[in-house]
């Protein structure tokens, strides 16, 4: 009986394997066949009935295709076993257009199988219509604001990108500019203006506006076009299970959104050729100037330091000192410069130049006046700043005396020959007893140990440095610990000054940095959802996990209902210090 049952099981397994092998298939599919530039689609390769011997890696020009994971599913239906292996790829377009993912071939079991070609359409992102924005259907949208419709070549302005987030957005992250065309402008990197964040009513919904400013300088004349700018952002929206009474924690749902702005057209005017000063070097803005020179009493060839301070608003980094034709009696050297900006883009502040000059003849009685010209776009005119000459006293260089040769002096009287042989010294003087030999003195012996101790200290330091270099997690743990220590100090300062916005911005960053270090992932990718999704990897106690959720929720709520009292802010600092301390004690 036992033998018969074993034979039946072997026969049944053979039949299942035969049926499975006979049903081997290989298919490819896309989760979407139309996406917007900035979004990503998922390509799935499914192998059914047998394990693939090779997984083809598709390559398409204009598409970035990266493998993201592998899964396996085995099911038995009516005695038939089905095994499906699925390999997924992320497909990110680099430009709009129609793309074809060609047929792929793989060895599945003992036979080569091929898929059908797939079509993917990538469209340009477009700004939502005014009706769509006013209806409140847009979770997020992007606007481009440029302060002027007309600029001059060389004029610098700060444009703004404004990110609008609907009031039901719990959190956001991974904001990336996918395209930022600035034809005819030289552009810098955008800077988020946290202190300019505001809430506005748009249509029938309330939005939080997050502005980012970036510098632009017109590089040529004509009609210039800014944008359309495109970007992508991941937002966290309330979960669909929020209304379920058995749903304890609303972790939210993540959604990737593609954003686009309207294009802005700017007229760039050339600088007028009429009345342009001869020493104009291209400075555009509004400036003032001060100059100093010294020393004023010198000898021909001595250096004189000329300091020129140019202050105001404009592209200070591009300022250059003009040539001074009136300084023909001076030898000049290339100037050095230092910029002290009072804004984030270097458009406002002071640029200091230092130039060394030296008079070439004693007939010079003054350093001639210094002039600097610029074009002011506010009134459309050239202006010249001039400082009067500086009186100088220049002495002629003195003749260099010939060196005198030292002659040997004879102490013997004149006409008397010195003695050939000096008498032997018959009294040697008093003998003195020498001190103890150095080798018997403790101080000398102690000094001999200094090089050995220094070598041992250097060896220990080198060992610790190599250990840190080979252990990135330990290095990051120490960096995060220092960041948290400094951040707690800042939180106490913000709480004492009742600066709620800065307080919760720093609180959210500290939570991201500490959880990122614990989970060994980028800090910017951490959201409130990771607390529950990856709680097993964290290994923290339920009390600590609950404290983390409360801290994240307080960060989200602070954007809509700011905490006003210092006592509440200090209580949050205490909770954060305790929670982070418990996290740091968990072994990973």
Could you give the C-alpha distances from 453 to 26, 62, 327, 448, in angstroms and in order? 69, 62, 62, 10
For residue 121, which of 94, 138, 97 has the smallest C-alpha distance?
A: 97
Give the residue among 260, 263, 269, 231 at the shortest CA–CA distance from 146: 263
Please state whether the peptide bond connecting residue 261 to the residue before it is cis, i.e. omega within 30 degrees of 0: no
**Res 243: pLDDT:** 52
Q: Looking at beta carbons, which pairs linking 491-495 to residues 24 or more positions away fall under 8 Å?
A: 491/569, 491/572, 491/573, 491/576, 492/570, 492/573, 494/569, 495/566, 495/569, 495/570, 495/572, 495/573
pLDDT, residue 277, reads 92
User: Residue 110 gets which letter from DSSP?
Assistant: T
The closest alpha carbon to 586, from 529, 513, 515, belongs to: 515
- Helix axis angle for 566-585 and 500-519, nearest 10°, is 10
Residue pointed to by tokens 């590089």: 219
Tell me how far apart the alpha carbons of residues 129 and 134 are, in angstroms, rounded to a whole number: 9
Q: Which residue has the tokens 């050339």?
A: 270
Residue closest to 142 by CA, chosen among 216, 231, 263, 203:
231
Location of structure tokens 């009696």: 329
Query: For residue 398, what are the contacts with CB-CB under 8 A and spacing of at least 6?
Result: 299
- Residue 270: the pLDDT is 94
Token pair belonging to 478: 């120490």
Tokens coding 525:
């990718």
Rg from Cα positions in the chain: 39
pTM over 0.85: no
158 within 8 A of 216, measured Cβ to Cβ: yes
Which pair of tokens denotes residue 421? 């042989």
Q: What is the pLDDT along the chain (588 residues), one digit of tens a residue?
A: 444 444 544 444 444 444 444 568 889 999 888 888 777 889 999 988 777 888 888 899 989 999 988 888 877 766 667 778 899 999 988 888 999 999 999 888 778 888 999 999 988 778 888 888 888 888 999 999 998 899 999 999 999 999 999 999 988 888 888 778 888 898 888 888 888 899 999 988 999 999 999 899 999 999 998 888 888 889 999 876 655 544 444 567 888 888 999 889 999 999 999 989 988 999 999 999 999 998 999 999 899 999 999 999 998 888 989 988 889 889 999 999 999 988 888 889 999 999 999 999 988 889 999 999 999 999 999 999 998 989 999 998 866 555 555 544 454 555 555 556 666 666 666 666 666 777 777 887 788 888 888 889 998 988 887 777 777 777 888 888 888 888 888 988 888 888 888 888 888 888 888 888 887 788 777 877 777 777 667 777 888 888 888 888 888 777 665 666 778 888 888 988 888 888 878 776
Go through the chain and tell me how many residues it has: 588
The rounded distance, in Å, linking the Cα atoms of 508 and 244 is 28
Please tell me the predicted confidence (pLDDT) of residue 9: 47
By three-state DSSP, how is residue 197 classified? coil
Alpha-carbon distance 2 to 4, whole Å?
5
Torsion angle of C-alpha atoms 251, 252, 258, 264, degrees rounded to 10: -100
CA nearest to 49, candidates 82, 15, 14: 82
* Chain centroid offset of residue 538 CA: 28
Q: Tokens for 180, please give them.
A: 């930022």
Among residues 30, 24, 69, the alpha carbon closest in space to that of 48 is found at 24
Element (H, E) at 217: strand 205-218
Helix, strand, coil shares of the chain, percent, nearest 5, are 30, 35, 35
Token pair belonging to 271? 């600088």
What are φ and ψ of residue 37, in 5° steps? -55, 125
Residue 315: its pLDDT value, please?
87
- Residue 78: phi, psi to the nearest 5? 55, 40
DSSP letter string over 234-283? EEEE--GGGG-TT------EEEEEEEE---EEEEEEPPP-TT--TT--S-
pLDDT of residue 245: 47
Give the whole-angstrom CA distance, residue 351 versus residue 349: 7
pLDDT at 424: 67
Task: Give Cα 310 distance to the centre of its chain.
Answer: 30
Q: Where are the beta strands (DSSP E) in 279-427?
A: 285-294, 297-299, 304-314, 330-332, 336-341, 348-359, 366-367, 370-376, 381-387, 390-391, 393-395
What whole-number distance in Å separates Cα of residue 388 and Cα of residue 258? 59
Decide: 234 and 256 in contact? Cβ < 8 Å.
yes
- CB–CB of 582/513 below 8 Å? no
Distances (CA, A) of 354 to 222, 301, 337, 350, 370: 37, 18, 6, 13, 13
CA 341, CA 99: separation in Å to the nearest integer? Answer: 48
Place of tokens 């003998």: 431
């Amino acid at each position: 009986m036992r033998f018969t049952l074993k034979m039946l099981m072997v026969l049944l397994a053979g039949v299942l394997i035969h049926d499975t092998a006979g049903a081997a298939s290989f298919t490819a599919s896309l989760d979407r066949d139309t996406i917007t530039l900035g979004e990503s689609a998922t390509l799935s390769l499914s192998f059914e009935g047998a394990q693939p011997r090779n997984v083809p890696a598709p390559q398409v020009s204009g598409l970035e295709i990266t493998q993201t994971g592998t899964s396996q599913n085995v099911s038995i239906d009516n005695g038939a076993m089905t095994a499906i292996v699925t390999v997924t790829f992320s497909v990110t377009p680099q430009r709009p257009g129609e793309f074809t993912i060609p047929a792929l071939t793989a060895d599945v079991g003992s036979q080569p199988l091929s898929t059908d070609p797939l079509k993917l359409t990538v469209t340009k992102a477009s700004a939502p219509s005014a009706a769509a924005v006013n209806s409140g259907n847009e979770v997020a949208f992007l606007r481009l604001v440029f302060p002027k419709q007309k600029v001059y070549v060389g004029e610098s302005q700060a444009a703004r990108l404004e990110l609008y987030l609907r009031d039901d957005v719990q959190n956001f992250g991974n904001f990336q500019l996918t395209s930022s065309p600035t034809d005819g402008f030289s552009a810098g990197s955008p800077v988020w203006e946290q202190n300019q964040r505001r809430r506005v009513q748009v249509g029938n919904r309330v939005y939080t506006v997050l502005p980012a400013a970036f510098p632009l300088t017109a590089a040529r004349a004509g009609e210039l076009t800014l944008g359309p700018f495109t970007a992508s952002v991941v937002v966290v929206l309330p979960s669909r299970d929020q209304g379920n009474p058995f749903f304890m924690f609303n972790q939210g749902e993540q959604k990737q959104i593609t954003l686009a702005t309207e294009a802005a057209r700017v007229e760039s005017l050339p600088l007028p050729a009429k009345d342009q000063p001869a020493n104009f070097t291209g400075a555009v803005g509004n400036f003032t100037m001060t100059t100093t020179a010294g020393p004023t009493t010198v000898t021909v060839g001595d250096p004189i330091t000329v300091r020129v301070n140019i202050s105001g608003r404009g592209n200070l980094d591009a300022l250059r000192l003009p040539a001074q034709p009136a300084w023909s009696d001076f030898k000049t050297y290339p100037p050095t410069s230092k910029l002290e900006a009072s804004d984030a883009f270097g458009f406002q502040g002071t640029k200091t130049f230092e130039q060394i000059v030296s008079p070439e003849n004693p007939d010079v009685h003054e350093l001639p006046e210094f002039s600097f010209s610029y074009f002011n776009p506010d009134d459309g005119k050239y202006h010249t700043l001039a400082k009067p000459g500086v009186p100088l006293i220049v002495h002629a260089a003195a003749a260099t005396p010939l060196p005198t040769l030292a002659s040997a002096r004879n102490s013997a009287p004149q006409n008397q020959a010195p003695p050939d042989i000096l008498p032997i010294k018959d009294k040697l003087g008093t003998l003195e007893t020498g001190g103890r030999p150095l080798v018997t003195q403790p101080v000398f012996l102690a000094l001999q140990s200094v090089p050995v101790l220094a070598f041992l200290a250097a060896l220990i330091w080198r060992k610790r440095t190599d250990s840190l270099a080979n252990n990135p997690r330990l290095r990051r743990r120490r960096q995060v610990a220092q960041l948290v220590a400094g951040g707690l100090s800042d939180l106490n300062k913000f709480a004492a000054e009742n600066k709620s916005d800065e307080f919760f911005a720093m609180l959210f960053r500290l939570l991201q940095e500490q959880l990122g270090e614990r989970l060994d992932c980028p800090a910017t990718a951490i959201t409130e959802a990771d607390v529950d999704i990856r709680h097993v990897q964290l290994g923290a106690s339920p009390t600590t996990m609950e404290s983390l959720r409360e801290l994240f929720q307080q960060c989200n709520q602070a954007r809509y209902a700011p905490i006003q009292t210092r006592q509440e802010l200090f209580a949050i600092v205490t909770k954060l210090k305790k929670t982070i301390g418990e996290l740091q004690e968990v072994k990973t």
